[in-house]
Structure 1
Amino acid sequence: MNTISNYIADHLEKGSWIRKLFDEGNRLRSLHGEESVFDFSLGNPIVEPPAAFLEALQSVVSAEVPGKHRYIPNQGLPEARAKVADFINERFQTGVTAGTVVMTVGAGGALNVILKGILNAGEEVIIPAPYFVEYDYYVANHGGAVVHCQLDEQFSLDLAEIERSLSARTRAIIINTPHNPTGSLLDQDILNALGDLLADTEKKYGSTIYLLCDDPYGQLIYDAEAPNPFAAYHRTILASSFSKDLGLAGERLGYIGIDASMEDVGTLIAGLVFCNRTLGFVNAPLLVQRSIAAMDSLRVPQHEYRERRDLMVQVLQSAGYDFVMPRGGFFIFPKSPIEDDVEFCLKAAQDYRLLIVPGSGFGRKGFFRLSYSVPVEQIKRSQDTFTRLLQDYNK
């Protein structure tokens, strides 16, 4: 009996390494206790929301306003959209307006709304690897075809590889910076070169190609300046959320931002608002929209994640791992000491109660991902475990 579709059944069978390790972590904790398990598998924000958000939320909840919980415009509250537009413009010196912002159910919701709005059946979306594997499913949700191309050895864009991947069927490319799973940050020069390449390809085929910038880690940047995707390309769409920088992952508040000067922006926004409604999201969570609209600023210092980054780097360097220094987000993507990264991660879990995710699950074999969005004490206590694990392969 076909209870579910063949497509869903196939992907349930393959499963997610992150989900498998989450379940394994729960099993190990039940057997050995919390302090005996080192779980670096999940990208769950550990830093609590800032006091300004909590104060705004309390004020919104306590205010006696008629209709406070009723339906709102599918595009989002005007005051929330205005606040987000100001936030984007402050970061990128661009021309986003309240009218070119769509409030969404997280960044994942934003990407699904965008892809639903721009894709015709069979059109291609380029995804540089390694990558957040849900991108594959988001594109498939809306009839698109994924074209993978590899990032270079420093986890920056390989423009030659991207050029080979472009075709008359290309509709979009997804970039994610700071990057999950590597923590890398694109430089402005490489982003500008990508913009030139996309513009040339549009002219070559007479097509329309979008640069989709997935930006949920945009405020988690260390020792560097954030690149500006709007300055790099004329058809940029920003998809982001407040999950990581404000610590609101469970509240599912995201947004889409587009420069008001983009060609046919009114038609594009109307299409995205239609998709926001007909995909069943209807509108983004209302109390959180009201709360961010009431905040003086959406800029939040990220000292706590930088502290964790520095500690995690010290642990891995001392233990002898090979990795590219992360400049943002809360992930590191070291090389596995053996080619079979799955075997390495299974050994880490079974023999050392250390939960790390195989790079194969992100489209790059021979590496593993770890999240340092964990308690500081866990990072400090993990030094010996990471060292002994690697020594097992260097004997």
Structure 2
Amino acid sequence: MKIIDEIPASKTLEINAIATKLMNEGKDVINLTTGEPDFPTPERIKEKAKEALDKDFTKYTNSKGIFELRMTISKLLSKKGIEYTADEIIVTNGGKQAIYNALLAILDKDDEVILFSPLWVSYVPMILLAGAKPVIIRTTFEEGFLPNVNEIEKNITSKTKAILVNSPNNPTGVVYSESVIKGIAEIANKKGLYVIADEVYDSLVYDKPFVSLYNFVNPQQLIYINAFSKAYAMTGWRLGYCATKNRVIYNRISKIQGHTTSSVNSIAQFAAVEADKVDNKYMIDEFKKRRDFTVEEARKIGLEFVNPNGAFYLFFKSPLNDDETFCKKLLEEKLVALVPGSAFDAKGFVRLSFANSMKNLSGAFQRIKEFVK
């Protein structure tokens, strides 16, 4: 399979493999590569999963997701001012499947998708697997990693089908401003382009209210993506969802899911119905505390970065010209695992996840400080 052979291996996995080897050797590795909360899943969600087992809720479900969960998602979105009915929502095996299903539902061979780097590692492979072409617009450190709306206009061709937007952003932690969100929406609306809004980090915003693309994109052109992973510390439960008011696209996504993974794990779905009764503010408050600590420590060392207003990543300029060499040497010599920016189409930068304990963050920065000096 030529397309699969051309997709690069994950640099994140490469660093993790070295980290795992060192840990197996008994070394005290501090791993700050992981893009997942270190909190346990809220207790009442875990109790609901036990209830599912006790009730033998272990059979196939509707491939779109059980109605009760879709209603819960509808309520959760409504609290954010995002209005989708249960019949406009499809539950997926994580946010990743929601994105891939959306791409498959709208793309034909050789169509083009505009996206912005630094970008999440799976976007480009997904677009390639769909037979389409990624058109990457590179944002800059100097402009705060915010997309330049004029650059979007320049890159639109007769083959452009969609714009994929990730805000709050992984790996930069940048939250797109309202003016940028409006600018993207105006172009998409004018040109009749689909917009895939990956907003899985929208609950982790620290300084200003989050602005969703939902507020500005033509409803028939928007495919909204979110998940339980980050907001409820449920990464391993594999629960994401997409929503759209476009019935043609909705039915296509439903068909794709029905012929691939079918339904999502029944126990996970049953448990997640409880999510609208969970107060996850304690997680958000703790992440803000860690963000503030991370920023302060990074400044003391003299690292250069754009302030992360969302998600749980610090994306800084590599003290060495080669970000991969920096990450490998830091891991080998100081036992701190970070992800090279080249994994995100951003050579010369490094991603640090502060989804970890204050103790580990403090220890990591002490080691990074020693290494940089």
TM-score by length of 2: 0.93
1:358 paired residue number: 340
1:285 aligns with 2:285: no
Q: Does 1:17 align with 2:11?
A: yes
* Higher deviation after alignment, 39-48 or 106-115: 39-48
2: distance between equivalents of 1:335 and 1:76?
A: 42
CA distance in 2, matches of 1:101, 1:311: 38
For residue 237 of structure 1, the aligned residue among 201, 218, 223 is: 223
Change (3 A) 1:193 1:10: closer
Q: 2:109 aligns with which of 115, 121, 137?
A: 121
**Cα deviation digits, residues 191-245 of structure 1 (max 9, x gap):** 011111122223xxxxxx1111112212111122111211121122111211111
In 1, Cα distance between the equivalents of 2:120 and 2:4?
A: 18
**Pair 1:346–1:296, CA change in 2 (3 A):** closer
Q: Which has the larger radius of gyration?
A: 1
- Structure-2 separation of matches of 1:52 and 1:348: 40
User: Are the equivalent residues in 1 in contact too, given 2:139–2:147 (CA < 8 A)?
Assistant: yes
The aligned amino acid for 1:243 is S
**For residues 80 and 189 of structure 1, what CA distance do their matches in structure 2 show?**
34
CA 1:46 to 1:101, structure 2 compared with 1: closer, same or farther past 3 Å? same
Show the counterpart of 2:247: 266
The unaligned stretches of length 5 or more in structure 2 are none
User: 2:321 is matched by which residue type in structure 1?
Assistant: E
Q: Corresponding residue for 2:212?
A: 228
Residue identity in the other structure for 1:269:
Y
The equivalent residue for 1:218 is 202
How do residues 325-340 of structure 1 correspond to structure 2 at under 5 angstroms?
Answer: 325-340=307-322
Q: Aligned equivalents of 2:145 and 2:276: distance in 1?
A: 36
Question: Aligned partners of 1:160 and 1:339: how far apart in 2?
Answer: 30
- Give 1:304 shift: 2.3
1:347 corresponds, among 323, 329, 346, to: 329
**Is 2:351 the partner of 1:369?**
yes
Alignment-mate amino acid for residue 283 of structure 1: S
Structure 2 Cα separation of the partners of residues 120 and 169 of structure 1? 10
Aligned to 1:134: 122
Name the counterpart of 1:60. Answer: 52
Percent identity reads: 24
Aligned partner of 2:360 among 361, 371, 378: 378
Q: Residue 241 of structure 2: which of 251, 255, 258 is its match?
A: 255
Mapped pair 1:103 → 2:91: yes
* Structure 1 residues 101-124: Cα deviation after superposition (integer angstroms, max 9, x where no partner): 001110111011111111111111
Secondary structure of residue in 2 paired with 1:334: strand
Code of the residue aligned with 1:290 in structure 2: it is F
In 2, Cα distance between equivalents of 1:299 and 1:160: 41
Q: Give the TM-score normalised by the residue count of structure 1.
A: 0.88
Q: How many residues align?
A: 367
Task: Judge conservation of contact 2:45–2:275 (CA < 8 Å) in 1.
Answer: yes
Root-mean-square deviation (Å): 1.7
Worse-superposed segment, 150-159 or 20-29: 150-159
Is this contact kept in 1: 2:45–2:271, CA < 8 A? yes
2:4 alignment counterpart: 8
- Whether 2:177 is the aligned partner of 1:181: answer no
- Give distance in 2, aligned partners of 1:102 and 1:376: 37
The range that moved more, 217-226 or 296-305, is 296-305
